[in-house]
Structure 1
Amino acid sequence: MTHINVLDPGASPLDYYGYELRRYREAAGLTQKQLGAIVNYTGSLIGQIETARKLPTVDFSERVDAALGTGGLLSRLVVLVLRSQLPSWFQQVAELEARAVEICAFQTHMVHGLLQTDAYVRAVLGAFDPTDLDDRTAVRLARQRLFEKETPPVFWSVVSEAALHLEIGGPETMRGQLAHLLAFEHDPRINVQVLPFSVGAHAGLQGSFNLYRFADDPTILYTEGYGSGHPTANPDTVKDGSLRYDHLRAAALSLKDSAELIRRVMEERYGEQRDAVEVPVA
């Protein structure tokens, strides 16, 4: 077990976070138990985070920042901490997301991670491996904080209609997820288009992919394999991916029609009436 007195703040973002938390707490003259009482967390949890044995959350960081007057330091650090917990092969993707001015994503069978709800994330991540689900969920959701930046990226999501029908996590989870997509209906920076089944063969049959565009750097095309990511700035590959994405957006329903389809699927496939138990009439 790591001892707080020998915690190396340079060892990792998590160690640095714990070091700073302890430094600010002690400067305020508070014990772990006292700080826990103020922010409505246990003193034991405070100790675990200070010793880099437990991941902090965004909510925890915001509460402690307010309690200790850190100027928002921990809320800024927690983004780096959670990003560092992503699989090593995916950390580069999170950095691309954070730097991009425009993200164009195509998904073949599920909602993109940047638009997933807490319950949907848990269902996706826990489908095969339920271990450390709280921490893994927090890590994925933390990526969405890029939309809270002063100048967030423009996000285009073309998603196959299949993602609306693949029942991940059950009807309640899917209702919440589709309602979440509809919440962006009037947000010009987050745009969701559905590629309907009626399109048939289309430019994305090779699989899901993302395009990351930057203010000064070349565009990156990103695809995934099993347990690995494949970003490339090869001009020919990027040009091909960009052309494919243009065709996918053209083939997809308009933003308005996409929202109408999402709403219809949410009501007809995952409506409350599907959960009701029918009582036979005598």
Structure 2
Amino acid sequence: MPNIRELDPSASPLDYFGFELRRKREEAGLTQGELGACIFCTGSLVGQVETARKVPTREFAERVDAALGTDGEFSRLVGLVLRSQLPSWFQAYAEMEARATYISSYQAQLIDGLLQTEAYARAVLGVRGGDDLDARVAARLDRQRILARQEPPLAWVVLSEAVLYQAVGGQEVMREQLAHLLDFSADGWTQIQVLPFGAGQHPGMMGAFNLLRFDSDPDLVYTEDFVQGHMTADPSKFREGSLRYDQLKAAALSVGDSAALIARVVEERYGHQPEPVGRAVA
């Protein structure tokens, strides 16, 4: 039986998406099951999206547009829906990240979110628990669309060597993730360097940080702590961050040598040997 829970379309982007989906479907004279058949999903899933109990994927939105002839309306709206699933304190950064022309990232413990595979992101985000994991993973992956634009930002990422050995999600997940990093070797817009253990003390020992540069907006520094993120356009803070980042790049392996190290770690640490019996995978 169709779910007819009423929504307040002003409550959130997700509620607005569900409200509009139901309105457009009914205008087309389709039941939830009939629309589901058109877009290769169940009527139950359509109902869950219409009642804001399920976050739509970008593929779902594109198929709805095609089925209902809505001229990309839902494909445009789904970006706002997915962004709303990010932590509230991170949403402002995500908006600025999407507008940046140059992104510099130093990561000490994890692969940068823009470079994560779905399985790696699921393992990282799953640590927190909760029943909205699919939505949080979808939101993180949607951020990565900026790297696939016709004119993407220039992204430069420095990773601590420790990131390569932190077995997030198990061997298969790490093998896929590190192979994904190597895929960027042929991409002139995304450069990856590894800061080796042999670098000793370095300016990134205080933690991860990002720098965003823009064509017209003030440049930004972004950092995170255990509770929330911090973003500032203070020119003195940005200069300090830029100096630290240049020092990290100078201490890191070259882009070519970094790729060679990543490939070696994939082979030596995450080869096709079986998982140890009884080992829990995060």
TM interval, short-chain normalised: over 0.9
Matched letter for residue 63 of structure 2: R
Spell out the pairing of 1:129-148 with structure 2 (5 A cutoff): 129=129, 131-148=131-148
Distance apart, 1:142 and its partner CA? 1.5
The separation in 2 between residues aligned to 1:130 and 1:18, in whole angstroms, is: 22
The separation in 2 between residues aligned to 1:54 and 1:182, in whole angstroms, is: 34
Distance apart, 1:241 and its partner CA? 0.2
Task: Describe the SS at the equivalent of 2:211.
Answer: strand
Question: 2:236 aligned with 1:236, yes or no?
Answer: yes
Q: What is aligned with 1:280? A: none
Task: Describe the SS at the equivalent of 1:93.
Answer: helix
Question: 2:277 aligned with 1:249, yes or no?
Answer: no
Question: 2:264 aligned with 1:272, yes or no?
Answer: no
Matched letter for residue 52 of structure 1: A
Unaligned stretches of 5+ in structure 1? 278-282
Q: What is aligned with 1:97? A: 97
Report the TM-score, using the length of structure 1 for normalisation: 0.92
Spell out the pairing of 1:124-273 with structure 2 (5 A cutoff): 124-129=124-129, 131-273=131-273
CA contact (8 A) 2:6 2:51 kept: no
Q: Please say which of residues 6-15 and 206-215 is displaced more in the overlay.
A: 6-15
Task: Describe the SS at the equivalent of 2:106.
Answer: strand
- The alignment's C-alpha RMSD in Å is 1.8
Spell out the pairing of 1:29-178 with structure 2 (5 A cutoff): 29-129=29-129, 131-178=131-178
Task: Describe the SS at the equivalent of 1:185.
Answer: helix
Q: Deviations over 1:61-106 (max 9, x none)?
A: 1222222222222122111101111111111111111111111000
CA contact (8 A) 2:57 2:138 kept: yes
Unaligned stretches of 5+ in structure 2? 278-282
Alignment size in residue pairs: 275
Spell out the pairing of 1:3-42 with structure 2 (5 A cutoff): 6-42=6-42
Task: Describe the SS at the equivalent of 1:106.
Answer: strand
Matched letter for residue 21 of structure 1: L
Distance apart, 1:132 and its partner CA? 2.4
Distance apart, 1:154 and its partner CA? 1.2
Q: Deviations over 1:152-176 (max 9, x none)?
A: 2111110001000000000000001
Q: Deviations over 1:207-240 (max 9, x none)?
A: 1000011110111000011121110111111100
Identity in percent:
60
Distance apart, 1:12 and its partner CA? 1.5
The separation in 1 between residues aligned to 2:68 and 2:263, in whole angstroms, is: 44
The separation in 2 between residues aligned to 1:160 and 1:189, in whole angstroms, is: 20
Distance apart, 1:273 and its partner CA? 3.1
CA contact (8 A) 2:110 2:163 kept: yes
Q: Please say which of residues 141-150 and 236-245 is displaced more in the overlay.
A: 141-150
The separation in 2 between residues aligned to 1:27 and 1:112, in whole angstroms, is: 43
Q: Please say which of residues 69-78 and 224-233 is displaced more in the overlay.
A: 69-78
Report the TM-score, using the length of structure 2 for normalisation: 0.92
The separation in 1 between residues aligned to 2:64 and 2:181, in whole angstroms, is: 31
Q: Please say which of residues 237-246 and 3-12 is displaced more in the overlay.
A: 3-12
Distance apart, 1:261 and its partner CA? 0.7
Matched letter for residue 76 of structure 2: R
Distance apart, 1:151 and its partner CA? 2.5
CA contact (8 A) 2:5 2:51 kept: no
Q: Deviations over 1:175-217 (max 9, x none)?
A: 0100111111110111111111111111211110000111101
